Amino acid sequence: MERTVERPSLLGPEGPLEEGERGVPAHFQDLHLDELEAALFAPHGGMGLEAIFRRPLQNGKAVVHRQRVAQDLEAEPLAQAFRTFFRGMENMRKGLGLAEAARHPWQKRLYFLLAAEAYLEALEGLWKRRPKTAK
């Protein structure tokens, strides 16, 4: 008998949420949320974060959950661990961009391997800096 494991989500207490809206909602410009979205997600292009941001939350429980997650992520030393992790992920994306742009097959492979190394280092750094209560 297969046992299912509950996986916590940063987005909602019931687990991952459905994808949000694809286009920019009309009220975003009125409230300048389009500018906020651009400032928040520009460095992380291509990750699909905009769709999650555009999806309205349907219950108060999800709002409270996200507020608690945000508070946890702002507290040190976890905040520093994630800043380091995000820098590592940016290095990985840069390496993948170089691999895609390279013309020589060996250069492509080298940049891809360097991107993979940056990814592994980012994960390892996050794991080492995790709170000791995490498993």
For 24-82, the pLDDT digits (tens) are 777 777 878 878 877 777 766 656 667 777 777 778 888 888 888 888 878 888 888 88
Instruction: Tell me the HSE value of 23 on the side-chain side, using a 13 A CA sphere.
Output: 3
> What's the token pair of residue 81?
């661990």
Residue range 90-129, pLDDT digits in tens: 899 999 999 999 999 999 999 999 999 999 999 999 888 8
> For residue 92, which of 123, 132, 70, 66 has the smallest C-alpha distance?
123
The model scores a pTM over 0.85: no
